[in-house]
């Protein structure tokens, strides 16, 4: 395996070993604290434009299982791990992670101090980075026995910006036929083991033979970069799910006469999606029950008059505590976001429902003037935790 280098926008260089595809990639360097679920991370469209660092030191030990995919391709710009397991062991394993990264043309690096990298990102904040390997690594030079990056490389790194993320994810899905979501018969892909180990610990009953079930509710799922498990969770609860693209108008959604509307997760700056936010505002006037997750939560808040801002290093991983302000109970959640709703900007008809137990940022909102609520975290979490899975049941009750 050849050498690879990670260069941060501040000039810091890490030397490691190449994994996945060889070449050059630039992205926003972030870290996720998840101990498992690396396949879900790699295939989550919300990571579009980002170089993802796994803080857990050993990644790839259970291999790659297609049943765990959240979409049919990987969206990360690059991948960083401390140690990559090249001999996975799991009865569901279909291949190793390095081969998957090569197939997906993802440039990666292993063998670097991910603890040091994470500390840099925590203290300085999320910053752009570049991974170089193969012939591209020749662009580095040595001065006084130390590797340095030429100014042209640093300028290229610093100039990178994630723009039109939702639109880009959708267009790439269509271009590569990588999006396997869409209207499906009830329960397809929800049978036992269809979503890997994600059913473990769930409070809702499993559907054994979904083909014989009659849908009880009709839900329109706005796809801003939706994770597949959102659709699965709705189908498990007897919903016929119609997935519509990000640029669908409110009028077209209303004409479908749904019982409820789901606003999905997705990548990028929520405030950038001006047209989508305006259509969400119109949907709010329809009084159709609405449930928003992650980016959907942020854009719903923007549509109702609140503001969002970028966090220093975001929340990413499967171990983030949030507090339910009504019950006082703390739930462990899965999260993946770099922006947050500013609690102090919520209007009078918006009630803060959850807060992050670490930094007190907004994690959930319930609207008192319309049948709508949203959460910043992922209640459909796959692979876990499943503490807040009950929020889908709350959405079902709103549609009755």
Q: What is the DSSP string of 294-355?
A: THHHHHHHHHTT--EEEEEEEEEEEEEEEEETTT--EEEEEEEEEEEE-GGG--TTEEEEEE
| 173 in active site | no
| 188 in active site | no
Q: How far lies 20's CA from each of 24, 194, 309, 334, in Å?
A: 12, 27, 34, 26
Gap between the Cα atoms of 133 and 397, Å rounded: 52
Catalytic choice (294, 315, 320, 337)? 294
Catalytic choice (22, 167, 231, 380)? 380
Q: How far lies 107's CA from each of 51, 119, 130, 168, in Å?
A: 9, 23, 10, 20
| 386 in active site | no
Query: CB 87: neighbour CB atoms within 10 A?
Result: 8
DSSP 207: P
Q: Are 281 and 391 contacting, i.e. CB atoms less than 8 angstroms apart? A: no
* Burial of 260 from C-beta contacts in 10 A (0-12 / 13-18 / 19+): buried
Q: Are 77 and 26 contacting, i.e. CB atoms less than 8 angstroms apart? A: yes
Q: Which strands make up the sheet holding 260-263, listed edge to edge?
A: 239-245, 217-223, 260-263, 290-293, 372-375, 362-367, 350-356, 308-324, 330-341
CA nearest to 380, candidates 271, 292, 251: 292
pTM of the model: 0.90
- N residues, the chain: 400
For residue 344, what are the contacts with CB-CB under 8 A and spacing of at least 6? none
Look at strands 3-8 and 127-133 and give their pairing.
antiparallel
pLDDT by position in tens, the chain (length 400) = 799 999 999 999 999 999 999 999 999 999 999 999 999 999 999 999 999 999 999 999 999 999 999 998 999 999 999 999 999 999 999 999 999 999 999 999 999 999 999 999 999 999 999 999 988 887 788 888 788 888 999 999 999 999 999 999 987 666 554 433 433 333 333 333 334 445 433 333 333 344 456 789 999 999 999 999 999 999 999 999 999 999 999 999 999 999 999 999 999 999 999 999 999 999 999 999 999 999 999 999 999 999 999 999 999 999 999 999 999 999 999 999 999 999 999 999 999 999 999 999 999 999 999 999 999 999 999 888 999 999 999 999 999 9
Catalytic choice (315, 320, 337, 378)? 378
105 phi-psi bin (left φ>0, alpha ψ -120 to 50, beta other): left
């Amino acid at each position: 395996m050849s050498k690879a280098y990670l260069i941060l926008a501040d000039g810091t260089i890490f030397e490691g070993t190449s994994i996945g595809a060889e070449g050059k990639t630039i992205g926003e360097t972030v870290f996720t604290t998840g101990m498992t679920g690396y396949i879900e991370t790699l295939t989550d469209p919300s990571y579009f434009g980002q170089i993802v660092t796994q803080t857990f030191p050993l990644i790839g030990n259970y291999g790659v299982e297609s049943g765990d995919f959240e979409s049919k391709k990987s969206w990360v710009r690059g991948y960083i791990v401390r140690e990559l397991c090249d001999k996975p062991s799991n009865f569901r394993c279909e291949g190793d992670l390095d081969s998957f990264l090569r197939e997906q043309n993802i440039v990666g690096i292993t063998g670097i101090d991910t603890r040091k990298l994470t500390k840099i990102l925590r203290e300085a904040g999320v910053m752009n980075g570049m991974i170089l390997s193969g012939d591209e690594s020749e662009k580095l030079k040595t001065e006084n026995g130390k590797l340095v990056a030429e100014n042209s490389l640093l300028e290229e790194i610093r100039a990178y910006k994630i723009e039109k993320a939702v639109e880009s994810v959708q267009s790439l899905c269509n271009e590569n036929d990588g999006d396997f979501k869409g209207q499906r018969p009830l329960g397809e892909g929800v049978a036992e083991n269809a979503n890997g180990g994600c059913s473990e610990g769930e409070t809702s009953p499993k559907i054994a033979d979904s083909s014989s079930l009659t849908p009880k509710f009709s839900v329109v799922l706005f796809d801003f970069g939706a994770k597949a498990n959102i659709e699965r969770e709705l189908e498990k609860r007897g919903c016929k799910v119609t997935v519509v693209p990000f640029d669908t108008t409110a009028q077209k959604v209303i004409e479908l006469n749904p019982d409820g509307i789901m606003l999905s997760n997705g990548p990028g700056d929520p405030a950038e999606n001006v047209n989508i936010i305006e259509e969400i505002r119109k949907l709010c006037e329809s009084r159709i029950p609405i449930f928003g997750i992650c980016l959907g939560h942020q854009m719903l808040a923007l549509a109702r008059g609140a503001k969002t801002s970028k966090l220093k290093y975001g929340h990413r991983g499967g171990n983030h505590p949030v507090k339910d302000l009504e019950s006082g109970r703390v739930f462990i959640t899965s999260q993946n976001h770099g922006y947050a709703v500013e609690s102090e900007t919520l209007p009078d008809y918006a009630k803060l429902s959850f807060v992050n137990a670490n930094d007190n940022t907004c994690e959930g909102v319930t609207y008192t003037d319309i049948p709508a609520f949203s959460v910043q975290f992922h209640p459909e979490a796959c692979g876990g935790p499943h503490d807040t899975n009950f929020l889908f049941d709350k959405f079902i009750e709103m549609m009755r």
